[in-house]
């Protein structure tokens, strides 16, 4: 069997929303007449005041301005819950699957409504109103979904902080978005371990510059005893019991902010990517429906955490706007055993599974344990997101999880794009393992060379998007100039993604990875600058340079070159201490895999570190180092090669 191309089976396509002819026709109309196309698509939502303006966007230098449906009014929470109630009050919205397989329960749309409305009223009673920011630092439980939707209901702007982040990361984000309230839980459970969420929040709130928080709302999750600061902490369950289950949704303008989500860039502090209400929700809902071919009655499971954009668009807003039934999973794919994903699929009869290549590679490494105890016959469609999926992992996912019958949607997108941009559609697109294939409706990708010239035909270059789409981020919170600088300054009049890609003779896109100093560790985005600043904050570190190197399971792992302060005694203990230091300062995801102590780093005469060389040495590809003649001290390189850690 040819393993490089998987055509769409005609019988499969017949039962899908879109076949190839329809894809081509819809794609063409979305590009030729975006105003009309998106005017029509906007109708998938319920609007309080219908829009008359559709697209009003500019990528012009000095005037980056993105507005969609700007005179329309709506409420995102109403669209995700209330409008489904006449028909779906008793339909299951959320199927909770706990970290321990024994913990599961279901929530109907009516129950979802009541919980969200109570929490919304609770937030109001704490003085939160339209336009205020609320930080959310939660386990992956139904209450995290309630928290996001409760904010949307009252017009508060949520900023979810991934439950694996450190107190410092929490504090930085609270300060940046000026959050008034933080919603958390006693502890999170993940893979049989607990994470002290409330204690981390307490530490964050104790920092002198964290002054905006008036209350900390605490859910019970594990039931652990946690310290209580009675002037700030409020028990979420008690508060919700005191208020009515009825809270009118706030009237929001389409361009009012819905959320801020922090993500790493190539320089400086993480940036607060801001998404607004109308265009984002139209795009999340439409992509979810078409890409996963979602139909009423399907059980859908996106295994991402709500701390990431995938959790925002494809756990909360997309599926719920479409009235879906979905699994909310607190755990990890390998706990209590490598069969967990397949077991959960069988248990809840999941039809659509959306996960990440790193999870697949972790299961692959366990041999046949992932599929030996389950049959996964309910599955119809698979999805992949977060990083390029290597053909071996693709084939394993296809054969062993999908029983050779479920097409894999390899979805390329970013925090900034709000929704999926390049992807197959199940009934329309023949698959090539490793390729994200073709653009979604309304998306105009292009490849450019280093001068910004658009390349035609089969080519390799930097991936840009030539025009706006409704789900696009509007700004970086509080720093529109950085928004313009980061995404619109490299190439005039285009959105620069930061990714490199190849386009083949069939027009399929193959994403090759970041071309900037952003790393992708297990599908999680980290800036080298953030990790370096955590390293140099350690008293024994004089200088640090961080690069990524290929890793079998994580995709990419962190290789840190570190120059010690003079007189430091190097030891295993110090190396371990430094790894833990970064872990605590940033997050376990940011822990360097390898720490290479070195007396010097390869620098140009003007003092710039030549990362190109460091990347090659880390990848154990030092034969082709390229030109090293501009180095101030070329002998540094020989020492680095000699002592390289990835042999």
List, as residue ranges, the binding site: 190-193, 310, 386-388, 410-415, 499, 514, 522, 525, 536, 538, 541, 583
**213 versus 436: smaller Cβ distance to ligand PRX:** 436
**339 versus 522: smaller Cβ distance to ligand PRX:** 522
Per DSSP (E only), the strands in 21-179 are 55-60, 63-68, 73-74, 92-97, 104-108, 133-137, 157-160
How far apart CA 175 and CA 177 sit, in angstroms, is 6
**331 versus 424: smaller Cβ distance to ligand PRX:** 424
Task: Tell the smallest beta-carbon distance from residue 362 to ligand PRX (Å).
Answer: 17
Task: Tell the smallest beta-carbon distance from residue 306 to ligand PRX (Å).
Answer: 13
How far apart CA 37 and CA 334 sit, in angstroms, is 43
**159 versus 325: smaller Cβ distance to ligand PRX:** 159
- The answer to whether 425 and 23 are in contact (CB under 8 A) is yes
Token reading at 605: 């005469």
- The answer to whether 315 and 293 are in contact (CB under 8 A) is no
Give the 3-state secondary structure of residue 249.
coil
Give percent helix, percent strand, percent coil of the chain, each to the nearest 5.
35, 25, 40
Dihedral sign from CA coordinates of 492, 495, 499, 504? negative
Task: Tell the smallest beta-carbon distance from residue 355 to ligand PRX (Å).
Answer: 12
How far apart CA 86 and CA 110 sit, in angstroms, is 10
DSSP labels, 394-414 = HHHIIIIISTT-S-EEEEB--
Q: Which residues does the annotation place in the binding site for ATP?
A: 386-388, 410-415, 499, 514, 525
**495 versus 581: smaller Cβ distance to ligand PRX:** 495
Give the 3-state secondary structure of residue 237.
helix
Q: Please give the span between the terminal C-alpha atoms of the chain, in angstroms, as a whole number.
A: 36
- The answer to whether 195 and 163 are in contact (CB under 8 A) is yes
**109 versus 412: smaller Cβ distance to ligand PRX:** 412
Task: Tell the smallest beta-carbon distance from residue 448 to ligand PRX (Å).
Answer: 16
**388 versus 439: smaller Cβ distance to ligand PRX:** 388
Q: Which residues does the annotation place in the binding site for CoA?
A: 190-193, 310, 522, 583
Tell the burial category of 214 from Cβ atoms under 10 Å away from its Cβ (0-12, 13-18, 19+).
middle
Task: Tell the smallest beta-carbon distance from residue 170 to ligand PRX (Å).
Answer: 18
DSSP labels, 345-390 = HHHHT-SEEEE-HHHHHHHHTTGGGGTTT---TT--EEEEESSPPP
Q: Which residues does the annotation place in the binding site for Mg(2+)?
A: 536, 538, 541
Q: Closest residue (Cβ) to ligand PRX?
A: 415
Q: H/E/C letters for each residue in 141-179? A: CHHHHHHHHHHHHHCCEEEECCCCCCHHHHHHHHHHHCC
- The answer to whether 567 and 369 are in contact (CB under 8 A) is no
Q: For tokens 């720093």, what's the residue?
A: 479
List all residues 6 or more positions away from 61 whose beta carbon is below 8 Å from its beta carbon.
Answer: 484, 488, 489, 492, 493
Task: Tell the smallest beta-carbon distance from residue 521 to ligand PRX (Å).
Answer: 10
Task: Tell the smallest beta-carbon distance from residue 136 to ligand PRX (Å).
Answer: 18
Residues that bind ligand PRX (CB under 6 A): 263, 309-310, 385-388, 410-415, 436, 497-499, 511, 513-514, 520, 525
**118 versus 514: smaller Cβ distance to ligand PRX:** 514
Give the 3-state secondary structure of residue 67.
strand
Count, residues in the chain: 647
H or E segment and range at residue 220: none
Task: Tell the smallest beta-carbon distance from residue 96 to ligand PRX (Å).
Answer: 23
Task: Return the closest-CA partner of residue 300 out of 331, 320, 326, 318.
Answer: 326
**200 versus 497: smaller Cβ distance to ligand PRX:** 497
**452 versus 513: smaller Cβ distance to ligand PRX:** 513
Task: Tell the smallest beta-carbon distance from residue 174 to ligand PRX (Å).
Answer: 21
Task: Tell the smallest beta-carbon distance from residue 26 to ligand PRX (Å).
Answer: 22
- Do the strands 459-465 and 445-448 form a parallel or antiparallel pair, or are they unpaired? antiparallel
**122 versus 426: smaller Cβ distance to ligand PRX:** 426
Task: Tell the smallest beta-carbon distance from residue 414 to ligand PRX (Å).
Answer: 4
Task: Tell the smallest beta-carbon distance from residue 387 to ligand PRX (Å).
Answer: 5
**390 versus 405: smaller Cβ distance to ligand PRX:** 390
């Amino acid at each position: 069997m040819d393993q490089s191309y998987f055509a769409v089976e005609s019988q499969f396509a017949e039962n899908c929303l879109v076949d190839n002819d329809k894809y081509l026709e819809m794609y063409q109309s979305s590009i030729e007449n975006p105003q009309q196309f998106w005017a029509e698509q906007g109708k998938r939502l319920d609007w309080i005041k219908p829009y008359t303006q559709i697209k009003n966007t500019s990528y012009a230098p000095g005037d980056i301005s993105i507005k969609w449906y700007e005179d329309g009014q709506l409420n995102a929470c109403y669209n995700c819950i209330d409008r489904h109630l006449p028909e779906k009050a008793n339909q299951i919205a959320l199927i909770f699957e706990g970290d321990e397989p024994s913990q599961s329960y279901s929530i109907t749309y009516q129950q979802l409504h009541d919980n969200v409305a109570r929490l919304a009223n609770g937030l109001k009673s704490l003085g939160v109103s339209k336009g205020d920011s609320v930080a959310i630092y939660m386990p992956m439980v139904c209450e995290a979904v309630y928290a996001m939707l409760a904010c949307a209901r009252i017009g508060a702007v949520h900023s979810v902080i991934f439950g694996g982040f450190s107190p410092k990361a929490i504090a930085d984000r609270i300060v940046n978005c000026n959050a008034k309230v933080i919603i958390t839980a006693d502890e999170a459970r993940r893979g049989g371990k607990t994470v002290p969420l409330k204690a981390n929040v307490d530490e964050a709130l104790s920092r002198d510059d964290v002054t905006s928080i008036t209350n900390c709302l605490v859910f019970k999750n594990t039931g652990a005893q946690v310290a209580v600061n009675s002037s700030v902490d409020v028990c979420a369950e008690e508060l919700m019991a005191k208020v009515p289950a009825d809270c009118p949704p706030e009237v929001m303008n389409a361009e009012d902010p819905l959320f801020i989500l922090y993500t790493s860039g190539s320089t400086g502090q993480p940036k607060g990517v801001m998404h607004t209400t109308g265009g984002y929700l139209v795009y999340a809902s439409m992509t979810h429906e078409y890409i996963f071919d979602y139909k009423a009655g399907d059980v859908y499971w996106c295994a991402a955490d709500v701390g990431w954009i995938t959790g925002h668009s494809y756990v909360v807003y997309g599926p719920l706007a479409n009235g879906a039934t979905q699994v909310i999973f607190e755990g990890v794919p390998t706990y209590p055993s490598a069969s967990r994903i397949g077991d959960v699929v069988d248990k809840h009869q999941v039809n659509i599974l959306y996960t990440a290549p790193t999870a697949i590679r972790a299961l692959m490494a366990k041999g046949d344990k992932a599929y030996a105890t389950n049959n996964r016959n309910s599955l119809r469609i698979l999805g992949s997101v977060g990083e390029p999926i290597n053909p071996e992992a693709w084939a394993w996912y296809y054969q062993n999880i999908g029983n050779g019958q479920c097409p894999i949607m390899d979805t390329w997108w970013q925090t900034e794009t709000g929704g999926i941009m390049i992807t197959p559609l199940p009934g329309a697109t023949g698959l090539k393992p490793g390729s994200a294939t073709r653009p979604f409706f309304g998306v105009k990708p292009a490849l450019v060379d280093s001068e910004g010239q658009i390349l035609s035909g089969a080519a390799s270059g930097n991936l840009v998007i030539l025009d706006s789409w409704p789900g696009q981020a509007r700004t970086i919170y509080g720093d529109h100039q950085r928004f313009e600088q980061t995404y619109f300054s490299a190439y005039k009049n285009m959105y620069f993604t930061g990714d490199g890609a190849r386009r083949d003779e069939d027009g399929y896109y193959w994403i090759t990875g970041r071309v900037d100093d952003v790393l992708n560790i297990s599908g999680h985005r980290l800036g080298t600058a953030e990790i370096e600043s955590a390293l140099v904050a350690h008293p024994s570190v004089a200088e640090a340079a961080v690069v990524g190197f290929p890793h079998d399971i994580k995709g990419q792992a962190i290789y840190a070159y570190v120059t010690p302060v003079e007189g430091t005694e190097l030891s295993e203990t110090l190396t371990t201490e430094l790894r833990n230091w970064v872990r605590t300062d940033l997050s376990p995801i940011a822990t360097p895999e390898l720490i290479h102590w070195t007396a010097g780093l390869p620098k140009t005469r003007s003092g710039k570190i030549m990362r190109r060389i460091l990347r090659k040495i880390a990848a154990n590809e030092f034969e082709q180092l390229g030109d090293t003649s501009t180095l101030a001290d070329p002998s540094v390189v020989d020492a680095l090669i000699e002592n390289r850690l990835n042999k």
